[in-house]
Amino acid sequence: MNHEELKILLSVYIDGEVTPSEKDLIENHLVSCQSCQKDFDEFKKVSSSLKRWPQERLSPDVELNIKARLGESKERIMEKQEVRIQWSAVALVVVVMMVSTLAFQQYARRGLQARVRDASSYLSSETIALGKADQYEPYYLNSNYAVDRVESQKAANKVVRRDYHQEGAGLLASAPAALLKDERYVPASVSADTSGQSVQYFAKEKSIDKLAMMRNNESQVGYAQHETGALAGGFKVVEQRRVTSEELDANLNRNVVGVQARKEVRSVGDEGMMSPNEPAVYIYPQKEIYPYTPPRADAESYDRISENGFQLPTQEPLSTFSIDVDTASYSNVRRFLSQGQLPPADAVRIEEMINYFNYEYPEPGWGQPFSVTTEVTSCPWNPSHQLALIGLQGKRLNSLTMPASNLVFLIDVSGSMNNPNKLPLLQDAFRMMVQQLESKDKVSIVVYAGAAGMVLDATSGNYQERIINAIDRLQAGGSTAGGAGIQLAYQVARANFIPNGNNRVILATDGDFNVGVSNDNDLTQMIENYRDQGIYLTVLGFGIGNLKDSKMEKLADKGNGNYFYIDNINEGRKVLVNELGSTLFTIAKDVKVQVEFNPATVESYRLVGYENRTLAKEDFNDDIKDAGEMGAGHSVTALYEIIPTGGYPQSQGRVDPLVYQKSPIIERNVFASLDVMTVKLRYKDPKGTTSKLIKKTVSRNDIRANMNSENMRLASAVAEFGLLLRNSPYRGIASFDHVINEVSVVKSDKFGYQSEFLDLVGKAKSLSPYSSPVPLYADPSLNDRYENPQSTHEKGQK
Amino acid sequence: MTDEELIEKFYEGDREALAVIFERHKEGVFNFALRMVNNRADAEDIISDTFGRVCDSRNKFVQKAKFKTWLYTIARHACIDKIRSRRKWGSMWFEKKNSNEQAQMDFPSDDESASQVLDRKEVSQHIQSAINKLPSDQREAIMLREFQELAYDEIAQMLGCSLANVKILIYRARVQLKDSIPAFVIEFLSNNQNAKSPKRFDVDKEKFNQEGR
């Protein structure tokens, strides 16, 4: 027997399958043969290892399935297979039905939004929109929408002025006549906002806790309004006690107006303005009463803003700040006012309100990223002061010059987003945005809730249907792990990085970061790291009551991005469609402004807004210091309130004269310059690391007292409105009426922003307890103006 | 009660008897199939198919061989059918990578800790890849021997070859496996007393000690 045969026998021996004679043979051999001994050990080990190879478990489902079929004869099984074929046919039918139902729901939902909009325009003006009820395409996708909306509001304006002679421009009404005739109520403000109408009433009597209900004769159509009006439907519902539909049904038929009062009602004699805490009656014509939870303002967080005070150029000649192109504050203010309450002062960032609007600054010259405009005129809220405007206009890009985009939508789908103002609005907005994309652009979608996951891998802008499908599939549910989502989104963005392109994560959330990288420092660190790699962050805020405003602004700021608050579809259109370029394409980064004031002409100055953007004067020339970014087509406007020398000395007595410095004694006659200020700008190219400088000087001769440009008129009016909302100590003789007058004069209103602004001013006026100016100065001539602000402004305009 | 008696009872109309048989052999057949086709979904089909054929009244077990041999013959045919149909249809669906993933996806029992699961998976992977490298006849033979613990003559019966041939197949498989299974896996398995079927191993060892020493 040769060795090979012996080894085979060895293998057999391990298995105990040898005959006694073979056994003797192999055992004797093993004693003498080293190599076989080694093989024997190894075979033994292999054999025992294989025996111990862990077994996989049969999945319980399969096991049950087989067990159930055990013992059935083959014939039965064959039968069953036939049955199964039939079942699969049934299943197919069911699937087809489900798919078509879903599709129909989607279709109907879109259609409903359009109808709701139509209903609102129908209510505001009967001359328009009669035909629109038949239109089931989302109407806001139609380019006529903005125009129609403006026209319908204008038409409604006329109706109001004729019927109700409401004081002040911009107040609209389509209130049910029956309600107006009811003596128990007095119309407090009757106004329409972009999203429809909210008609507000104050009850005259005390302790009305009974429901008053009446038929709405004027408008046969009405729909439910969700909280802030994103659905742009019928009227707003803001009340303490809910009207049940049973109650309504019991009293009247279904086309009713439910009117509801809070218990505590102010007396009639009190003629002062009503604060938002005063009892109010809101009416809401609608078929069914939707539950409405009043916004919990306490859960929203805003950073405290302490306004910039007046500075003396003798002591602090330099004012330095970083630009801010954010506009979120304005939308947030609008949301508050639409809900019938004044925004908290810290939610009002005046610079963001000013920058919300488009100004007609000249286009930048060839090779320049932006143009600089300066203007000085008299200050509308304090005629003895001057107002200096510094306007930057970023270069506009057309679709040819736009770089390719690598966008990662990072979408919060946590339970808190499950609200018509949040996820559905976001979906609508993104759908519109996707239509702007081109084949060179890439879109990915990452969602986060309990966990983060990618729902759409990088997809070219060509495949809009695929992207829109992915957006449609989003559903809210679960808790929020913002951190993990951000990490994933950045990874996706890096994987699809486009050199020289626009690489950006677009975070859409209500700001709830519950789990994951909740540590703010870690989060900002990460955002900064990726920013340095060329991936920027844009933050879109949605929803109410839970808004972490301060946090979101900071995140966007760190990520070289911008922050927008989107409260309705129009805002979504503005940010993601009309101004997509500015939202997404950075044309200059770290833009800093430094203004040097001439003590010879400027007694003191004050920067309006930009409170959280001020920089130390050394930071201006420090290229390491981060500052705001400017997007394509962005315009940035800053206002300085200036007290000229020779005017009423504001600073006197506030600061003691300096003892060791000469400068306080201004040699006015010796110093021949008539310059008011020198504006210096520093910016970097989007990829640059060293800054470039732009200088511009404004002379006293440039001051045009009452020849305000439209830019100046609009910017100053918005600032004035902001001062009023903030109840600023610097508001002077500012008044809502004056704001309305100023803005009404501005002609260009391409997207209807100004007319919307007028509505807001009207609402704020009715809500604000501070509508009458407060005397600030001892100057009797000024006090005279307070008695008659209207006449003062008329004088001022002539 | 032996398998043979149980199947007899089943033919007399006792459906419970078949359930007992299934309980006894489900893991064995499933793992045999899984290691043959290396794809969990296919293995599930195969075990289902196998027991379907066991039930088939036209294909009764006759007391010529052991029941276990008969059962694994059926399972083996089911595997061969599956592999054929996969070759016919499959290459585009069942890429190697995918099928491997399929095999990985498993149902850990509740008493295993996460690290145990991972250990088990890693060991499984190494052995599986070593087994996959064997020619198919060697693979069948060694598996029937080591996992299903069939006797050589039973294996010969199943594979339809001579006893001597079976011996050679098993020997060659062992020679190859002792080189292709990483030493640490062998170490792990021979040291790990908590491995899946220690009882069986102990019995085996006793048997070995009695016979071998």
Calpha distance A476→A416 (Å, rounded)? 8
| Residues in chain A closer than 8 A to B205 (CB atoms) | 48
Task: Say whether B181 and A43 touch across the interface (CB within 8 A).
Answer: no
Tell me the residue length of chain B: 213
Pick A52's closest partner by Cβ from B57, B171, B189: B189
- Taking the CA atoms of residue A392, residue A394, residue A395 and residue A401 in that order, the dihedral angle to the nearest 10 degrees is 170
* Closest-CA distance of chain B to residue A79, Å: 13
pLDDT above 80: residue A182: no
User: In Å, what is the CA distance from A417 to each residue of A426, A470, A478?
Assistant: 10, 17, 10
Highest mean pLDDT among A316-325, A391-400, A466-475, A539-548: A316-325
List alpha helices for A664-750, DSSP H.
710-726, 736-745
Q: Tell me if A571 sits within 8 A of A229, measured CB to CB.
A: no
Pick B44's closest partner by Cβ from A16, A17, A59: A59
Confidence bin at A192 (pLDDT 50/70/90): very low
Task: Say whether B107 and A46 touch across the interface (CB within 8 A).
Answer: no
Over residues A700-716, mean pLDDT: 76
Task: Say whether B55 and A48 touch across the interface (CB within 8 A).
Answer: no
Q: Which of A9, A27, A53, A70 to mutate to probe the B interface, most B CBs <10 Å?
A: A53
In this predicted structure, what is the pLDDT of residue A640?
92
* Closest-CA distance of chain B to residue A488, Å: 23
pLDDT above 70: residue A652: no
Over residues A657-683, mean pLDDT: 66
Range from A396-410, B97-111, B122-136 carrying the lowest mean pLDDT:
B97-111
Task: Say whether B56 and A74 touch across the interface (CB within 8 A).
Answer: yes
| Residues in chain A closer than 8 A to B178 (CB atoms) | 42-43, 45-46
Percent of chain A with pLDDT over 90: 2
| Residues in chain A closer than 8 A to B177 (CB atoms) | 46, 50
Task: Say whether B40 and A47 touch across the interface (CB within 8 A).
Answer: no
Q: If you measure CA to CA, which chain A residue comes closest to B29?
A: A58
User: In Å, what is the CA distance from A571 to each residue of A79, A331, A403, A409, B163?
Assistant: 62, 7, 24, 18, 83
In this predicted structure, what is the pLDDT of residue A3?
78
Nearest to A697 by CA among A719, A716, A674: A674
Q: If you measure CA to CA, which chain B residue comes closest to A61?
A: B44
Calpha distance A115→A532 (Å, rounded)? 47
User: In Å, what is the CA distance from A446 to each residue of A320, A416, A436?
Assistant: 39, 17, 20
Q: Which of B36, B171, B191 to mutate to probe the A interface, most A CBs <10 Å?
A: B171
Calpha distance A789→A737 (Å, rounded)? 9
Tell me the residue length of chain A: 798
* Closest-CA distance of chain A to residue B100, Å: 14
**Average per-residue pLDDT for chain A:** 67
Task: Say whether B198 and A11 touch across the interface (CB within 8 A).
Answer: no
Task: Say whether B177 and A46 touch across the interface (CB within 8 A).
Answer: yes
> DSSP class of residue A684?
E
Nearest to A525 by CA among A517, A516, A515: A517
> DSSP class of residue A318?
E
Task: Say whether A73 and B56 touch across the interface (CB within 8 A).
Answer: yes
pLDDT above 70: residue A788: no
Q: Tell me if A515 sits within 8 A of A542, measured CB to CB.
A: no
In this predicted structure, what is the pLDDT of residue A82?
57
| Residues in chain A closer than 8 A to B71 (CB atoms) | none
Q: Which of A18, A46, A79 to mutate to probe the B interface, most B CBs <10 Å?
A: A46
Pick B31's closest partner by Cβ from A55, A67, A71: A55
Calpha distance A295→A300 (Å, rounded)? 9
| Residues in chain A closer than 8 A to B52 (CB atoms) | 69, 74, 77
Q: Which helix (H) or strand (E) holds A3?
A: helix A3-14
In this predicted structure, what is the pLDDT of residue A323?
87
Task: Say whether A46 and B211 touch across the interface (CB within 8 A).
Answer: no
Calpha distance B7→A511 (Å, rounded)? 66
User: In Å, what is the CA distance from A552 to each residue of A410, A516, A534, A548?
Assistant: 14, 16, 20, 6
The pLDDT tens digits of the residues spanning A572-604 come to 877 787 777 666 777 888 889 999 988 888 888
* Closest-CA distance of chain A to residue B72, Å: 17
* Closest-CA distance of chain A to residue B88, Å: 22
Calpha distance A503→A492 (Å, rounded)? 11
* Closest-CA distance of chain A to residue B107, Å: 6
Nearest to A186 by CA among A93, A280, A258: A280
Q: If you measure CA to CA, which chain A residue comes closest to B146?
A: A51
Pick A70's closest partner by Cβ from B30, B31, B55: B55
B48 or A256, higher pLDDT: B48
User: In Å, what is the CA distance from A584 to each residue of A292, A325, A503, A662, B158?
Assistant: 36, 12, 9, 50, 70
Percent of chain A with pLDDT over 70: 60
In this predicted structure, what is the pLDDT of residue B204?
43
In this predicted structure, what is the pLDDT of residue B110?
46
In this predicted structure, what is the pLDDT of residue A80?
53
Over residues A697-723, mean pLDDT: 81
| Residues in chain A closer than 8 A to B197 (CB atoms) | 51-52, 55
In this predicted structure, what is the pLDDT of residue A782?
46
Strands (E), A441-562: 442-448, 452-460, 502-509, 535-542
3-state secondary structure of A569: helix
Pick B15's closest partner by Cβ from A8, A46, A71: A71
In this predicted structure, what is the pLDDT of residue A401?
65
* Closest-CA distance of chain A to residue B112, Å: 12
Q: Which of A2, A49, A77 to mutate to probe the B interface, most B CBs <10 Å?
A: A49
In this predicted structure, what is the pLDDT of residue A1?
63
In this predicted structure, what is the pLDDT of residue B23?
86
Percent of chain B with pLDDT over 90: 0
Q: If you measure CA to CA, which chain A residue comes closest to B168?
A: A8
Range from A53-67, A284-298, A419-433, A498-512 carrying the lowest mean pLDDT:
A284-298
Q: If you measure CA to CA, which chain A residue comes closest to B34?
A: A56
In this predicted structure, what is the pLDDT of residue A6?
82
pLDDT above 60: residue A669: no
pLDDT above 70: residue B184: yes
In this predicted structure, what is the pLDDT of residue A769?
66
| Residues in chain A closer than 8 A to B108 (CB atoms) | 57
Apex A523 CA angle, A521 and A527, nearest 5: 115
Strand partners, A344: none
The pLDDT tens digits of the residues spanning A497-530 come to 888 788 888 888 876 654 345 566 777 788 888 8
Q: Tell me if A493 sits within 8 A of A504, measured CB to CB.
A: yes
* Closest-CA distance of chain A to residue B158, Å: 17
* Closest-CA distance of chain A to residue B45, Å: 9
Q: Which helix (H) or strand (E) holds A373?
A: strand A370-379
Pick A62's closest partner by Cβ from B44, B56, B167: B44
In this predicted structure, what is the pLDDT of residue A651?
46
Q: Which of B10, B16, B30 to mutate to probe the A interface, most A CBs <10 Å?
A: B30
Task: Say whether A49 and B185 touch across the interface (CB within 8 A).
Answer: yes
Task: Say whether B107 and A59 touch across the interface (CB within 8 A).
Answer: yes
3-state secondary structure of B89: helix
Q: If you measure CA to CA, which chain A residue comes closest to B202?
A: A48
pLDDT above 70: residue A179: no
Q: Confirm whether the ipTM is greater than 0.85.
A: no
Q: Which of B154, B168, B178, B202 to mutate to probe the A interface, most A CBs <10 Å?
A: B178
pLDDT above 70: residue A285: no
Over residues B74-100, mean pLDDT: 66
Q: If you measure CA to CA, which chain B residue comes closest to A11?
A: B171
Highest mean pLDDT among A75-79, A264-268, B56-60: B56-60
Over residues A35-39, mean pLDDT: 83
B200 or A304, higher pLDDT: A304
Pick A67's closest partner by Cβ from B22, B57, B171: B22
Over residues B111-137, mean pLDDT: 70
Confidence bin at A639 (pLDDT 50/70/90): very high
Nearest to A537 by CA among A332, A326, A689, A351: A326
Range from A53-67, A121-135, A164-178, A472-486 carrying the lowest mean pLDDT:
A164-178
In this predicted structure, what is the pLDDT of residue A195?
33
Confidence bin at B32 (pLDDT 50/70/90): confident
pLDDT above 80: residue A232: no
Over residues A155-170, mean pLDDT: 35
pLDDT above 50: residue B192: yes
pLDDT above 70: residue A362: yes
Count CB atoms within 10 A of the CB of residue B207: 11
Task: Say whether B52 and A8 touch across the interface (CB within 8 A).
Answer: no
Task: Say whether B190 and A11 touch across the interface (CB within 8 A).
Answer: no
